[in-house]
Amino acid sequence: MNKTLRSISLLALIFFAISCGEDGPRIATGKLAGRVTDAVSGAALESVRIIVFDANDNSPTGSTLITNANGQFVFELVAGNYFLKFYKQGYEQVPAAGMEAVPFTIEVGKTNDQSVEMFPSTTANSGYITGTVKTTVGLGGALVVAEDNTKTRAYSTVSGSDGRFAIYNIPAGSYSVKAYIAKHNSSSSTVPVVTNAGTDNVNISLTESTGGKLSGTVRNLAAGNKDVDVSLAHPLTKETIPGLTTASVNQAYTISDIPDGTYIARATYKNDERVMDPDRIAKFGEPLVSFSGNNNLELTFDVTGSVSIVSPTNEASTNNPVEVTSTTPTFTWTAYSSTSDYVIEVTDASTGSVIWGGFDKSEALPSKRIVIPSSQTSIQFNADGSASIPALVRGKTYRWRIFASKNDQNSTTGWTLISASEDQLGLIRVAQ
């Protein structure tokens, strides 16, 4: 054997010795680390509950992480794609309710920093609920929802890999607690919530079920064909039901194993330059589908190209809000073809309530609360004085969207919405 071959062989043996132990090859891992701080004061946040999810199947992986006294967390993970959710009593969850977490990649031998800021909760007189989601053992990855008696407000979390859950920042009152996940039906428990206290050891039982099926097609209007994400979400929290997400293939989709319940059916929620037909949603609301037993339903989604917003907005690759210094920021977007006018809508991200613009649906036919000429592609917050608050509140997070409208004599309203900006863009936080 010549000298070169001997060197190559030696390097190979060293690599094999390093890579293998007595029990075989080592698993290739990297590290997840970060620090959680108060977005207002900058102080470290201890005892933040962090759930790590496998981005490929949206299931929790490993134990639930808890930040230390310095707000820090560190965890070793097999190389792959993941996303995180952060929860703490007295703070808004991250990502905000109704927003999808953005995946990140763990690489072998590297550390991925996923530090976040959490904003103090604006919910007064709140308590929390803890418990376990179980089949015969604890079941992770279930969406757990506490719904009030009026069925108009709901608060949610996701169970960890051991089935444990904690729903924080719930106003005092009585709630029905239920879990949602594919292939299972859930029991329901009535639970009291007391201010500044926890209601503990709430058990939610799940039973296996073949469930229902939703299938159909995605039609692209005024845009080239594109396959998109399709999912079912809770009608109040608007969070996606675990296991009930798919992607269309050649514009056809199927979601199976749907548990009993009523859900929002949505398509192209991700930032992909497509949005659901905004006219249908503005005039009739988001489509709802109900399942009981193993019934099968069909639904066609109409999607179109989105309006591009310029500023201020989060990047498409993250749902972290961008910071603005002004309490009356100017919103800017790109002109959309064939538009007669625009409608802006600004909502409180923590509650989902509209604080400026949007659509009035109190009458038989919806109407625009604000009309912006097509020649205009920017507007300052509350420019017409019609907002429910004169200025945005410092320290709070908001979301804004723009809708493109076209005059239409064939429509009962006299107009048709032809496009809108992306669902998960336009997130802003007002600096303290």
- Residue 327 sits at the vertex; the CA angle it makes with 324 and 329, to the nearest 5 degrees, is 60
Work out the average pLDDT over 361-367. Answer: 91
Q: Taking 80 as the threshold, does the pLDDT of residue 6 lie above it? A: no
For residue 123, the model assigns a pLDDT of 85
For residue 25, the model assigns a pLDDT of 54
Do both 229 and 272 map to the same domain?
A: yes
Residue 132 lies in a domain: yes
Distance between CA atoms of 213 and 177, rounded to whole angstroms? 24
Q: Which of 208, 242, 265 is the last residue of a domain?
A: 208
Highest mean pLDDT among 120-129, 334-343, 348-357: 334-343
Residue 339: left if φ>0, alpha if ψ -120 to 50, beta else—which one?
Answer: beta
Do both 195 and 240 map to the same domain?
A: no
Which residue reads 């299938």 in tokens? 215
Residue 1 lies in a domain: no
For residue 18, the model assigns a pLDDT of 39
Do both 365 and 421 map to the same domain?
A: yes
Residue 20 lies in a domain: no
Do both 50 and 86 map to the same domain?
A: yes
For residue 404, the model assigns a pLDDT of 98
For residue 8, the model assigns a pLDDT of 36
Would you give the DSSP letter of residue 85?
Answer: E
Do both 286 and 313 map to the same domain?
A: no
Q: Taking 80 as the threshold, does the pLDDT of residue 15 lie above it? A: no
Q: Taking 70 as the threshold, does the pLDDT of residue 7 lie above it? A: no
Distance between CA atoms of 226 and 399, rounded to whole angstroms? 26
Contact 45, 22 (CB under 8 A): no
Residue 14 lies in a domain: no
Task: Tell me which of 308 and 222 has the higher pLDDT.
Answer: 308
- Separation in Å, CA 63 to CA 35, 76, 77, 357, 390: 18, 11, 11, 43, 45
Shortest CA distance to 329 belongs to which of 375, 423, 271, 397? 397
Q: pLDDT > 90: what percent of the chain?
A: 70
For residue 350, the model assigns a pLDDT of 72
Domains in the chain: how many in total?
Answer: 4
Do both 163 and 224 map to the same domain?
A: no
- Separation in Å, CA 323 to CA 119, 126, 192, 390, 429: 13, 27, 37, 19, 5
Q: Taking 60 as the threshold, does the pLDDT of residue 14 lie above it? A: no
Work out the average pLDDT over 279-295. Answer: 93
- Separation in Å, CA 89 to CA 49, 94, 214, 321: 9, 12, 36, 21
Do both 331 and 411 map to the same domain?
A: yes
Q: Residue 266: give the domain boundaries.
A: 212-304
Residue 4 lies in a domain: no
Give the side-chain half-sphere CA count within 13 A for 141. Answer: 17
Residue 389 lies in a domain: yes
What band does 112 get if pLDDT is binned at 50, 70 and 90? Answer: very high
CATH number at residue 163: 2.60.40.10
Q: pLDDT > 70: what percent of the chain?
A: 94
Over the stretch 191-235, which tens digit does the pLDDT of each residue have? 999 999 999 999 999 999 989 999 999 999 877 899 999 999 999
Window from 24-33, 69-78, 203-212 with minimum mean pLDDT: 24-33
Over the stretch 257-286, which tens digit does the pLDDT of each residue have? 999 999 999 999 888 999 999 999 999 889
Do both 230 and 272 map to the same domain?
A: yes
What band does 23 get if pLDDT is binned at 50, 70 and 90? Answer: low
Do both 330 and 359 map to the same domain?
A: yes
Q: Taking 60 as the threshold, does the pLDDT of residue 354 lie above it? A: yes
Q: Taking 80 as the threshold, does the pLDDT of residue 353 lie above it? A: yes
Do both 216 and 269 map to the same domain?
A: yes
For residue 122, the model assigns a pLDDT of 80
Window from 114-118, 255-259, 376-380 with minimum mean pLDDT: 114-118
DSSP H helices in 186-324: 278-284
What band does 62 get if pLDDT is binned at 50, 70 and 90? Answer: confident
Task: Tell me which of 62 and 137 has the higher pLDDT.
Answer: 137
Residue 18 lies in a domain: no
Do both 93 and 139 map to the same domain?
A: no
For residue 63, the model assigns a pLDDT of 67
Q: Taking 50 as the threshold, does the pLDDT of residue 118 lie above it? A: yes
Over the stretch 174-192, which tens digit does the pLDDT of each residue have? 999 999 999 999 999 999 9
What is the reported pTM?
A: 0.83
For residue 17, the model assigns a pLDDT of 39
Question: What is the overall mean pLDDT for the chain?
Answer: 89
Query: Can you read off the two tokens belonging to residue 410?
Result: 């064939």
For residue 313, the model assigns a pLDDT of 96
